[in-house]
């Protein structure tokens, strides 16, 4: 390993990334706008989960407790023929006529079923004693932010290394480098380290930027979070190297990278919790580095977990990094 050769490739790769304004801007603005969008969408008194059409006015329901149910949006309708098709097409979960004491639901609608249970039982005397939990309020955006940061990192790692190396190979640049004393180890190390610091820097900027106007809970240590993102980025870059090791078609590379990234996005709990998902899928999710990055980041940011608490995730990510890197380096061909 010659450090001078490594450094020269590292520097040029950095210039290539930093001077490509459109790529740089996309890497910074995309996650910020995504998180900001969620913050706006899920801000306010609370998201209405159900939509109920009311013939006439909800006030005409008098003292019906049903019309005081939270998280239900009541939408007035004058005309029954106009309102009924909306129930048929799932645009309304229920339609209620408070004067005629009638309601309509679509039998195929799960939300309609729940609302029917609420409507029928809303005035019934309580048979259970209510208990409440206390603690810091976690907004949906607080829960989703670590996932979006990690997801952005994943796309940047996979496509930023995997796709770029395939492009170099296809354009003949790797063939030219092969004819020099540069070794595959020096070349790959430069690509990995260059992408690594750029990703960590952009992730830190995105984190700081979104935290500035949204305000994340951060109950753990920044050092631990940085370590999770560091090891996580190495594992994802190494995964990208496997795709880039021999492929010389950008179309094939894009297909492979999408085949890796989208299932990971859905299975790793970026958008929703995996609780209740089929156990096989939960096991599959454990094979994805993104799952461990998100779980560890959420544990640190929301629960204040320390390094010991997330050591299992760190260990798995480290093992994955070593395995992916070894396979990628073993399979790598200049041409």
Partner 1 sequence: MTTLLETHNLIKHFRDVDAVNGIDLALPAGCCFGLLGPNGAGKTTTVELLEGIQEPTSGLIRYRGEPLGPRFRQDIGIMFQSTALQDYVTGRENLRMFGSFYRRTLPVAELVEACALGEFLDRDTRKLSGGQRQRLLLAIALVNDPELIFLDEPTTGLDPQARRNFWELIHRIKARGKTILLTTHYMEEAYHLCDEIAIMDHGRIIAQGAPRELLAAHFDDVVLQLPLADFPNPAPPLALTVMRGRDAVEILTRDVNAAIRELLAWNISLARLQIRPRTLEDLFLELTGRELRA
Give the nearer residue to partner 1 in terms of CB position, either 129 or 335: 335
Burial of 104 (0-12, 13-18, 19+ CB in 10 A): middle
Q: Is 26 in the site for partner 1 (CB under 8 A)?
A: no
**If binding is defined by CB under 8 A, does position 332 make contact with partner 1?**
no
The DSSP output letter for 74 is E
- Nearest CA to 237 out of 333, 148, 320 is that of 320
Distances (CA, A) of 206 to 22, 36, 88, 143, 268: 16, 11, 43, 16, 21
Considering the rule CB under 8 A, would residue 195 count as an interface residue with partner 1? no
> What is the nearest approach in angstroms of partner 1 to the Cβ of residue 168?
8
249 lines the binding site for partner 1 (CB under 8 A): no
Give the residue from 69, 159, 52 showing the smallest Cα distance to 105: 52
Check residue 201 for interaction with partner 1 (CB under 8 A): no
Give the nearer residue to partner 1 in terms of CB position, either 11 or 82.
11
182 binds partner 1 (CB under 8 A): yes
Query: Is residue 55 part of the contact set for partner 1 (CB under 8 A)?
Result: no
Q: What is the distance between the alpha carbons of residues 54 and 96, in angstroms, rounded to a whole number?
A: 5
- Please tell me the count of residues contacting partner 1 according to CB under 8 A: 24
The rounded Cα 41 to chain-centroid distance in angstroms is 16
Residue 139 is a binding residue for partner 1 (CB under 8 A): no
User: Considering only CA atoms, which of 239, 248, 237 is closest in space to residue 175?
Assistant: 248
- Is residue 271 at the binding interface for partner 1, with CB under 8 A as the rule? no
**Chosen residue from 1, 11, 325, 333 binding partner 1 by CB under 8 A:** 11
Residue closer to partner 1 by CB (options 19, 101) is: 19
Q: How many residues does the chain have?
A: 335
Q: Which region among 14-22, 72-80, 140-148, 203-211 touches partner 1 (by CB under 8 A)?
A: 14-22
User: How far is Cα 152 from Cα 203, in angstroms, rounded to an integer?
Assistant: 8
Binding site for partner 1 (CB under 8 A): 4-5, 7-9, 11-13, 15-16, 19-20, 168, 171-173, 175-176, 178-182, 335
């Amino acid at each position: 390993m010659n450090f001078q050769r490594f450094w020269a490739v590292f520097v040029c790769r950095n210039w290539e990334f930093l001077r490509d304004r459109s790529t740089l801007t996309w890497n910074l603005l995309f996650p910020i706008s995504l998180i900001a969008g969620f913050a706006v969408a899920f801000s306010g008194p609370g998201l209405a989960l159900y939509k109920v059409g009311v013939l006439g006015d909800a006030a005409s329901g008098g003292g019906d407790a049903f019309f005081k149910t939270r998280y239900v949006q009541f939408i007035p309708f004058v005309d029954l023929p106009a309102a009924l098709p909306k129930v048929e097409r799932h645009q309304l979960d229920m339609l209620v006529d408070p004067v005629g004491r009638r309601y309509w639901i679509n039998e195929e609608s799960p939300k309609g079923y729940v609302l029917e249970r609420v409507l029928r039982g809303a005035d019934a005397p309580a048979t259970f004693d209510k208990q409440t939990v206390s603690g810091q309020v976690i907004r949906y955006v607080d829960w989703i932010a670590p996932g979006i940061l990690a997801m952005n990192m994943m796309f940047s790692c996979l496509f930023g290394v995997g796709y770029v190396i395939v492009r170099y190979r296809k354009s003949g640049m790797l063939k030219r480098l092969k004819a020099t004393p540069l070794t595959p180890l020096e070349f790959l190390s430069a690509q990995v380290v260059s992408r690594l610091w750029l990703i960590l820097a952009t992730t830190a900027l995105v984190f700081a930027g979104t935290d500035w106007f949204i305000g994340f809970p951060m109950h753990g240590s920044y050092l631990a979070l940085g370590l999770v993102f560091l090891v996580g980025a190495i594992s994802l870059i190494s995964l990208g190297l496997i795709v880039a090791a021999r492929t010389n078609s950008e179309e094939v590379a894009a297909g492979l990278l999408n085949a890796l990234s989208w299932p990971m996005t859905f299975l790793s709990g970026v958008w929703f919790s995996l609780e209740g998902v089929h156990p096989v899928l939960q096991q599959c999710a454990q094979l994805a580095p993104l799952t461990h990055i998100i779980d560890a980041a959420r544990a640190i940011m929301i629960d204040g977990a320390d390094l010991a608490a997330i050591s299992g995730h760190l260990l798995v990510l480290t093992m994955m990094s070593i395995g992916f890197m070894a396979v990628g380096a073993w399979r790598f061909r200049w041409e």
